[in-house]
C-alpha cells in the first residue's frame, strides 16, 4: 500500500509495518510495527473526504474489518484503531468476507468480499469532530458465485462503483457430465452503491476471458477514462460499461524458450498516476517479467493498449509505485525491494512491445487461447541486468524458510549461529544469522604494544582531535585528521600511562596519570600540573568537561574531587576517605542546562556501589548505596529517554564475574532503584563506557564479546544486544569528518575503527547464495551439506546443451541467478544495484527437475564443493551417517527422486545415494533403489534409518548398495520426520502424527510403543528427551507430547501379519500446544547465547523466528499466567480477534504463555499498568523487570 507517496505498508505474518522512504537516499526506515494477533487476508488504503491523512482498512480472520490511522509520537509512530466492524465468523472461510477488500478512490465506501457469494459495502463518513465513521454493511450477495478479484472503479463523484471478477457455478452442480463446468464463463460485474437510497445493485455484467484473474482500476473523472484492466493468461484487456461492445486487448510478449503449450499468467499489477490524464500500469507475470501497460484514450474512450517489457524482477505479491517514481516490490519469497524508475521508463526505447491494434489483426475477437499467444506474441530473452530501474534499498526477509541448523560451527565464536535455508529458485540462499547488531570495520592497524586504555578527545568543532592510547608505562597520542598519525608536540604526559582524559569547557584538556592531574590550556601548549601528595598514586579517575574525580591507591578509599572555577582553573574542592578500597568510579556527563553532574558513583571491594553528591552544599556526601552480585569492575552512568518521554539516569555496573547489572538513579535524590536487571555477558570482567549511536547515548559493554545497551525505538524500553565482532579489550566513542558516530577500540595490540550498523536488528546475517530451492541440510565433517532442488527446472548441463548456454547460471553472486543474455554480462555503473535474478527457461516436461548437492564451509560462509545431479533427479533429504564397517568414516546419505510429479504424485524411481567426503569434495559411493519418496533419514545404531514413503527401513552399508536389515509400515502417507534416542525411534508422518517405536535387535523388528490420538499432519519434529518430543503441523500448531512412563511395559505384541496386525501402543499425553499463526518448518532444541537458557527454537514459512522458553519455577508459571490473563482483559485487540481464541484456533492452547501478548505490557498506559500491578499484588517496576529478565534468558 502507499501512504502520502513515501510510506509503504508490509504485512509479514500478521504484523503491519510502516516504512518511510528517505527524501535524499530513498532508503527505507521502519517507523512502526504492530502485531494484529490474526491472519491478515487483505489490506488497502483510503482517505475520507475532507481528511488530509490516509488510513488503512485491514481484513483478517477475525470476522471483522478494522480501520487504522498512524500517529507520530516522541518515541515513533503508533498504529491506532479507528473502527472495528464485526460482520461474520472467525477463520479463513470461503463464505466469510475478508479475502478481498477495496476502497473507493474518493474514500466514500469500502467493499469487503468473500471467495464465494458474500459481498458487503460500508459507507464511510466523518462526524462533527472529524472522526471517521462507518455505516452498517449493505449486502451485495450472489449465490453460487465464486469471486476472483474486486476493485473499486474510479467514477469521480458519481455513485461509487465496484468491479468484481466472478464465475457462476449454478448450472454445474446439477450437471454430472461436467460439460457445464467446461463451458462456464467469467463475468466482469459492476456493483453500484446508490448513496441516496443507501442500496447496492448489480449495474452491469460482461463476459471476459476464462483465465482472467486480476483487476486494475484506471483513473476516472477528470483524470482518465475510468474502467478496469482485466489481467489473465497471456492477455490484458480493457473493459468498461461505457465501451461495453468493444474489445481492447493486448498480447503480452513471451520469452524465447518458453514452452509453446504453457500460458503465462499475470500475478501482480499496479497503476501509476503521474499527473492529470497521465498514467500507466505496471504488471508482472508468474515468471517475474514486468511490463508497462500504456493506455491510449481520447474523449474518455480507450482506443488502444500497448505492452512493453521493462525488466525482470523478483516474483511479487504486490507492486506499488509512489508519486516520486519509486516502485516497491513486496516479494513472495526473499528480500523486498525498493526500485527507482529511470527516465527511460517513459518511452522504453529498444524494448520489445506489442499493441492492441496488432493484437486485433492477428487474433480473432475474444479468442484468448495460449496457441494464439505462442504463435503471434513477440519474443525476448530476459536479462540479469536492470535496464529501466535501479535498486534503492531492500528489506531483509528470510521467507520462505525451509530448514534450520543451530550451533557454533565456525570454531572461533562464542554464541551459536543460526543457519537458515531461505528463498525459492535463483533467489535461494543460506543465511547465517548471528545474534546482535552488525559491525562495520573501517580500519585496523598495529600498535607498538598492548594498550591498557584508550580515549578520544574532542576539538573545537565537536569532532575528535586526538586519540590517546595508554600503555603500561607510556602514553601514545594520535592526531585525527584526514588520516590518523602519531604526534609528539602536544602537552600530554607521554612517559606515564593515562588513567582518564577529556576536553574541558575552557577549550583545554585534562589528563589524569598516576602521579597527578594535568590541565592543558586552550592553546594546547601551556599546562598546569597538580601533583599527588607524598608517595600517593592515582589508581582510578573519571572526568567530564567541568569535573574530575580521582581515587588513590588506598585501602581506605581516599578520593579527591576537582572542578573548573570561574577563572577556568581546575581547582581541588574536597578530599574524603570512604573506608573501603575503590575499584571503579564514574561521574557521568553534565546534563543539558546544568554546569555540573550532580552525582558520582563508586564501586568498592566490599561488592557495593555508592552514589555520592557533587553538589557544593554537600560535596561527596553519601546519597545511597547497594550491594551488587560480584566485585564492581566498571561503572557507567547514561541519561536515556524512556517510553514516557522523560529521561532516566541509568547506572550500568560491570562486575569481575562477567555479570552486568542495570538500575536507575533518582535525578533529584540520588537514590538507587531496587531490583536491578542482571545479565551474564561473558567469562571476562565487564568494562562499560558511553558511546553515541544513531544520535542517542548508549552504553557499550565489553566482556567475552561486546554488547550495546540502548533504548529501543520499537519498544521504548532498555535493550541490551550483543555486537557481532571479536573480543575487544578497550573502547571509546569516536567522531570525525569521515567517521560519524564511530567507535575506536583495541584488541590485543591492534587498533580498530568501527561503526555499528542497524542497532534495532535482533540478528545480522551473512548470505550464501544458492542455485535451487534448499530442501534439507545437515552437518558433516565440519562442513554443512545442503540439498537443493527445483521443479520445472533443468540441470546446468541440459541448459547448455539445449539452449546453447542461454540458461547457465550467472557467475556473479555465486550461482544465485541466470545469465540469459550474454550481451548484458558487463557490470553497469550501479554494480549490484542494477542486477536481478532470472529463472528459466521453463522446461516443457512437468517431471523435469534441477538439483544439486552443496558443501559449505561455516568458517568462511562459502561453497567448497557443488555437485550437480542428472536432469530430472531431485535431492529432497540428507543426513550424515557413520556405519560400523566404515571404520569411523562419516558418509553423506541423500534421498533422490527421479521425474517426480505432483498432480498426481508419482515418480519414475526413488534412490538413496551414498557420498564420500574427501578433502572437502563429494564423490558418489553407490546408489540404492527404494520403494517410496525419501523425505527423512537419520543414523540409528551405526545404521541408516530411512523413511521410504510410509515405510520405515533400516539399512546397513554394502559394497555396491545398501543392505536392508528391517522395515515397518508406519503410515498410509509419507514419513516426514525421523529421529532417534537410544533404542527408540521417533516418526512423524503427514497424516498420523508422531509415533515412538522401540527397536528389538534380536528379532530386527521395530515395535510400536506410543502414538498420538490426534491425526496431525507433521511438518517438523525435535526430540526433547527419551519420552518427550516437540512437533509442528501444517496448520501452524506447535505441541509437546510425552509418552507414559510405563508405555513399553504395557504395550501388547500381536502378529504383524493379517488385516488387524499391528502393535497396540500407549497414547501420548499432550503437555503443551499453541497456535503460532504460521506453518513452522523447522524446530530445534538449542541455546542462542552463551550462558542462556536452552529453548525450543523454531522458524516459520514466512521467515519469523520464535522460541518456546521453559518456565522452571512455580512462581514464574503463576506470575506469567496471571499476567497473561490480565492482559487479555486490558490490552487492546487491534482487529477484534480474541487473544485466547487465536492461540487456540485448532486446539485449545495449553500450558503456553503468549509471549507476543506479554510484550504488549510496555505499550499499555500508566494507569492500565497500575491496575494490572494491583491485581497481581506487585509493582509496575517488578513486572517490567520480570518480563525483561525472562527475555534475557533467551537472547
pLDDT digits (tens, 9 = 90+) for 502-521: 999 999 999 999 999 999 99
Q: Which pLDDT score is estimated for 822?
A: 39
Q: Can you give the residue ranges of every domain in the chain?
A: 440-761, 1111-1194
Higher pLDDT, 462 or 540: 540
The total number of residues written for the chain in this structure: 1195
| DSSP-based three-state secondary structure for 695 | coil
User: Vertex 596, ends 595 and 597: CA angle to 5°?
Assistant: 145
Query: What is the per-residue pLDDT for 832?
Result: 47
Q: What is the pLDDT of residue 1064?
A: 60
Domain 440-761 and domain 1111-1194 have a common topology: no
pLDDT band at 1189 (very low <50, low <70, confident <90, very high): confident
Q: Any residues with CB less than 8 A from the CB of 443 and at least 6 apart, and which?
A: 484, 751, 752, 753
- Nine cell digits for residue 886: 566404515
Residue 987: Cβ within 10 Å count: 29
In 3D space, the residue among 11, 97, 84, 90 whose CA is nearest the CA of residue 1141 turns out to be 90
pLDDT above 70 for 563? yes
- Strand boundaries in 353-470, DSSP class E: 353-355, 379-380, 389-395, 401-407, 417-422, 429-435, 437-446, 453-458, 464-470
List, in order, residues 6 or more apart from 1140 with CB less than 8 Å away: 1128, 1149
SS3 1123: helix
Query: 237: burial class by Cβ within 10 Å (0-12, 13-18, 19+)?
Result: buried
| 474 pLDDT above the threshold of 80 | yes
Residue 156 cell numbers, joined:
469521480
Res 25: pLDDT: 80
**Using one digit for the tens of pLDDT, what is the confidence trace for 677-695?**
889 898 899 999 999 998 8
pLDDT exceeding 70 applies to what percent of the chain? 95
- Indicate the CATH number of 440-761 among 2.130.10.10, 1.10.1060.10, 3.30.450.20, 3.40.640.10: 2.130.10.10
pLDDT in tens, 61-98: 999 999 999 988 656 688 999 999 999 899 999 999 99
Contact criterion met (CB below 8 Å) for 663 and 677: yes
Average pLDDT over residues 737-764: 92
Q: How confident is the model at residue 1051 (pLDDT cuts 50, 70, 90)?
A: low
3-state helix, strand, coil in the chain (%, to 5): 10, 50, 40
pLDDT of residue 845: 87
Residue 903: the pLDDT is 82
- What global pTM score does this model have? 0.91
Give burial (CB, 10 Å; 0-12/13-18/19+) of 973: middle
| Residue 815: band (very low, low, confident or very high) from pLDDT cuts 50, 70, 90 | very low
How many C-beta atoms surround the C-beta of residue 1050 within 10 A? 12
Strands of the sheet containing 1069-1075, edge to edge, are 1018-1025, 1028-1033, 1037-1042, 1069-1075
More confident residue, 269 or 360: 269
Range from 39-53, 538-552, 796-810 carrying the lowest mean pLDDT:
796-810
Provide the pLDDT for residue 958: 95
Which H or E element spans position 316? strand 316-321
Mean pLDDT of 836-843: 87
pLDDT at 980: 97
- Options 3.40.50.720, 3.30.70.100, 1.10.150.910, 1.10.10.60; CATH for 1111-1194 is 1.10.150.910
Amino acid at each position: 500500500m502507499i501512504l502520502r507517496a513515501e510510506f509503504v505498508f508490509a504485512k509479514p505474518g500478521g504484523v503491519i509495518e510502516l516504512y518511510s522512504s528517505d527524501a535524499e537516499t530513498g532508503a527505507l526506515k521502519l517507523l512502526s510495527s504492530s502485531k494484529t494477533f490474526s491472519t491478515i487476508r487483505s489490506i488497502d488504503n483510503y482517505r475520507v473526504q475532507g481528511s488530509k491523512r490516509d488510513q488503512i482498512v485491514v481484513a483478517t480472520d477475525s470476522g471483522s474489518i478494522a480501520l487504522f490511522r498512524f500517529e507520530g509520537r516522541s518515541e515513533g509512530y503508533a498504529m491506532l484503531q479507528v473502527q472495528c466492524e464485526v460482520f461474520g465468523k472467525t477463520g479463513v472461510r470461503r463464505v466469510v468476507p475478508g479475502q478481498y477488500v477495496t476502497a473507493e478512490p474518493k474514500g466514500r465506501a469500502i467493499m469487503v468480499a468473500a471467495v464465494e457469494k458474500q459481498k458487503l459495502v460500508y459507507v464511510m463518513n466523518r462526524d462533527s469532530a472529524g472522526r471517521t465513521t462507518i455505516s452498517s454493511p449493505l449486502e451485495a450477495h450472489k449465490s453460487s458465485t465464486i469471486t476472483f478479484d474486486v476493485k473499486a472503479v474510479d467514477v469521480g463523484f458519481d455513485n461509487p462503483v465496484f468491479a468484481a471478477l466472478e464465475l457462476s457455478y449454478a448450472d454445474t452442480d446439477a450437471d454430472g457430465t461436467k460439460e457445464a463446468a467446461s463451458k462456464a464463463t467469467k463475468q466482469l460485474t459492476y456493483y453500484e452503491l446508490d448513496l441516496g437510497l443507501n442500496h447496492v445493485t448489480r449495474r452491469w455484467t460482461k463476459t471476459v476471458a476464462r483465465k482472467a484473474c486480476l483487476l486494475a482500476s484506471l483513473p476516472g473523472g477528470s483524470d482518465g477514462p475510468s474502467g478496469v484492466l482485466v489481467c489473465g493468461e497471456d492477455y490484458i484487456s480493457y473493459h468498461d460499461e461505457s465501451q461495453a461492445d468493444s474489445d481492447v486487448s493486448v498480447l503480452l510478449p513471451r520469452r524465447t524458450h518458453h514452452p509453446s503449450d504453457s500460458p503465462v499468467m499475470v500475478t501482480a499489477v499496479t497503476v501509476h498516476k503521474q499527473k492529470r490524464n497521465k498514467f500507466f500500469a505496471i504488471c508482472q507475470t508468474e515468471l517475474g517479467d514486468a511490463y508497462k501497460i500504456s493506455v491510449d484514450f481520447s474523449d474518455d474512450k480507450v482506443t488502444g493498449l500497448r505492452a512493453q517489457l521493462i525488466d525482470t524482477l523478483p516474483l511479487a505479491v504486490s507492486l506499488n509505485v509512489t508519486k516520486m517514481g519509486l516502485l516497491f516490490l513486496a516479494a513472495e519469497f526473499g528480500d523486498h525491494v525498493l526500485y527507482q524508475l529511470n527516465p527511460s521508463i517513459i518511452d522504453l526505447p529498444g524494448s520489445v512491445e506489442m499493441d492492441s491494434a496488432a493484437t486485433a489483426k492477428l487474433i480473432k475477437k475474444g479468442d484468448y487461447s495460449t496457441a494464439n499467444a505462442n504463435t503471434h506474441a513477440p519474443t525476448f530473452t530476459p536479462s540479469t541486468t536492470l535496464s529501466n530501474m535501479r535498486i534503492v534499498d531492500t528489506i531483509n526477509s528470510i521467507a520462505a524458510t525451509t530448514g534450520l541448523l543451530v550451533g557454533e560451527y565456525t570454531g572461533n565464536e562464542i554464541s551459536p549461529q543460526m543457519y537458515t535455508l531461505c528463498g525459492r529458485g535463483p533467489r535461494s540462499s543460506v543465511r547465517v544469522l548471528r545474534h546482535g547488531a552488525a559491525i562495520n570495520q573501517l580500519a585496523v592497524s598495529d600498535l607498538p604494544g598492548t594498550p591498557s586504555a584508550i580515549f578520544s578527545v574532542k576539538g573545537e568543532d565537536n569532532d575528535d582531535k586526538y586519540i590517546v592510547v595508554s600503555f603500561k608505562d607510556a602514553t601514545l597520542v594520535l592526531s585525527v585528521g584526514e588520516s590518523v598519525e602519531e604526534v609528539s608536540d602536544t602537552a600530554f604526559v607521554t612517559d606515564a600511562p593515562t588513567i582518564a582524559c577529556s576536553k574541558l569547557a575552557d577549550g583545554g584538556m585534562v589528563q589524569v596519570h598516576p602521579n597527578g592531574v594535568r590541565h592543558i590550556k586552550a592553546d594546547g601548549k601551556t599546562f598546569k600540573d597538580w601533583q599527588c601528595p607524598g608517595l600517593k598514586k592515582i589508581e582510578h579517575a573519571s572526568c567530564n568537561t567541568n569535573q574530575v574525580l580521582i581515587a588513590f591507591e588506598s585501602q581506605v578509599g581516599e578520593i579527591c574531587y576537582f572542578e573548573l572555577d570561574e577563572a577556568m582553573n581546575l581547582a581541588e574542592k574536597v578530599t574524603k576517605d570512604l573506608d573501603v578500597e575503590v575499584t571503579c568510579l564514574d561521574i557521568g556527563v553534565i546534563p543539558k542546562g546544568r554546569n555540573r553532574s550532580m552525582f558520582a558513583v563508586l564501586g568498592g571491594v566490599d561488592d557495593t556501589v555508592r552514589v555520592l553528591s557533587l553538589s557544593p552544599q554537600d560535596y561527596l556526601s553519601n546519597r545511597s548505596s547497594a550491594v551488587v552480585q560480584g566485585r564492581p569492575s566498571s561503572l557507567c552512568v547514561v541519561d536515556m529517554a524512556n517510553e514516557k518521554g522523560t529521561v532516566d539516569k541509568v547506572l550500568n555496573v560491570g562486575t569481575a564475574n562477567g555479570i552486568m547489572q542495570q538500575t536507575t538513579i533518582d535525578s533529584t535524590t540520588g537514590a538507587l532503584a531496587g531490583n536491578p536487571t542482571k545479565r551474564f555477558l561473558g567469562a571476562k570482567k565487564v568494562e562499560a563506557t558511553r558511546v553515541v549511536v544513531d544520535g542517542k547515548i548508549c552504553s557499550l559493554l565489553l566482556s567475552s564479546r561486546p554488547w550495546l545497551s540502548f533504548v529501543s525505538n520499537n519498544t521504548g524500553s532498555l535493550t541490551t544486544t550483543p555486537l557481532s565482532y571479536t573480543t575487544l579489550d578497550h573502547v571509546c566513542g569516536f567522531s570525525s569528518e569521515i567517521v560519524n558516530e564511530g567507535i575506536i577500540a583495541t584488541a590485543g595490540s591492534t587498533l580498530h575503527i568501527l561503526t555499528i550498523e542497524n542497532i534495532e536488528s535482533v540478528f545480522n546475517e551473512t548470505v550464501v547464495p544458492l542455485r535451487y530451492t534448499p530442501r534439507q541440510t545437515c552437518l558433516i565433517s565440519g562442513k554443512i551439506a545442503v540439498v537443493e532442488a527445483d521443479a520445472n527446472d533443468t540441470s546446468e548441463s541440459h541448459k547448455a546443451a539445449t539452449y546453447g548456454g542461454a540458461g547457465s547460471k550467472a557467475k556473479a553472486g555465486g550461482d544465485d541467478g541466470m545469465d540469459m543474455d550474454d550481451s548484458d554480462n558487463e557490470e553497469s555503473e550501479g554494480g549490484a544495484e542494477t542486477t536481478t535474478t532470472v529463472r528459466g527457461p521453463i522446461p516443457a516436461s512437468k517431471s523435469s527437475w534441477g538439483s544439486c548437492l552443496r558443501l559449505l564451509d561455516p568458517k568462511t560462509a562459502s561453497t567448497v564443493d557443488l555437485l550437480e545431479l542428472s536432469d530430472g533427479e531431485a535431492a529432497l533429504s540428507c543426513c550424515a551417517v557413520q556405519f560400523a564397517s566404515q571404520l569411523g568414516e562419516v558418509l553423506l546419505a541423500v534421498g533422490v527422486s527421479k521425474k517426480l510429479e505432483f498432480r498426481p504424485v508419482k515418480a519414475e524411481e526413488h534412490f538413496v545415494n551414498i557420498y564420500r567426503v574427501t578433502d572437502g569434495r563429494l564423490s558418489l559411493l553407490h546408489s540404492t533403489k527404494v520403494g517410496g519418496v525419501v523425505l527423512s533419514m537419520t543414523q540409528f545404531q551405526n545404521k541408516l534409518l530411512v523413511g521410504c514413503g510410509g515405510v520405515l527401513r533400516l539399512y546397513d552399508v554394502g559394497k555396491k548398495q545398501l543392505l536392508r536389515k528391517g522395515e515397518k509400515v508406519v503410515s498410509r502417507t509419507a514419513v516426514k520426520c525421523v529421529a532417534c534416542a537410544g533404542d527408540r525411534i521417533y516418526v512423524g508422518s503427514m497424516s498420523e502424527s508422531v509415533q515412538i517405536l522401540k527397536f528389538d535387535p534380536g528379532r530386527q523388528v521395530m515395535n510400536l510403543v506410543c502414538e498420538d490420538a490426534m491425526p496431525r499432519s507433521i511438518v517438523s519434529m525435535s526430540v526433547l528427551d527419551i519420552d518427550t518430543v516437540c512437533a509442528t503441523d501444517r496448520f501452524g500448531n506447535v505441541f509437546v507430547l510425552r509418552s507414559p512412563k510405563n508405555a513399553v511395559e504395557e504395550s501388547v505384541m500381536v502378529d504383524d501379519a493379517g488385516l488387524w496386525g499391528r502393535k497396540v501402543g500407549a497414547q501420548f499425553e499432550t503437555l503443551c500446544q499453541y497456535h503460532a499463526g504460521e506453518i513452522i518448518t523447522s524446530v530445534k532444541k538449542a541455546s542462542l547465547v552463551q550462558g542462556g537458557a536452552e529453548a525450543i527454537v523454531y522458524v516459520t514459512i514466512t521467515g519469523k523466528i520464535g522460541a518456546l522458553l521453559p518456565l522452571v519455577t512455580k512462581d514464574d508459571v503463576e506470575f506469567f499466567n496471571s499476567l497473561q490473563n490480565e492482559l487479555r482483559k486490558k490490552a487492546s485487540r487491534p482487529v477484534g480477534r480474541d487473544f485466547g481464541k487465536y492461540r487456540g484456533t485448532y486446539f485449545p492452547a495449553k500450558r503456553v504463555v503468549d509471549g507476543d501478548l506479554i510484550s504488549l505490557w510496555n505499550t499499555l498506559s500508566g494507569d492500565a499498568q497500575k491496575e494490572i500491578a494491583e491485581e497481581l499484588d506487585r509493582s509496575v517496576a517488578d513486572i517490567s523487570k520480570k518480563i525483561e529478565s525472562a527475555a534475557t534468558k533467551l537472547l
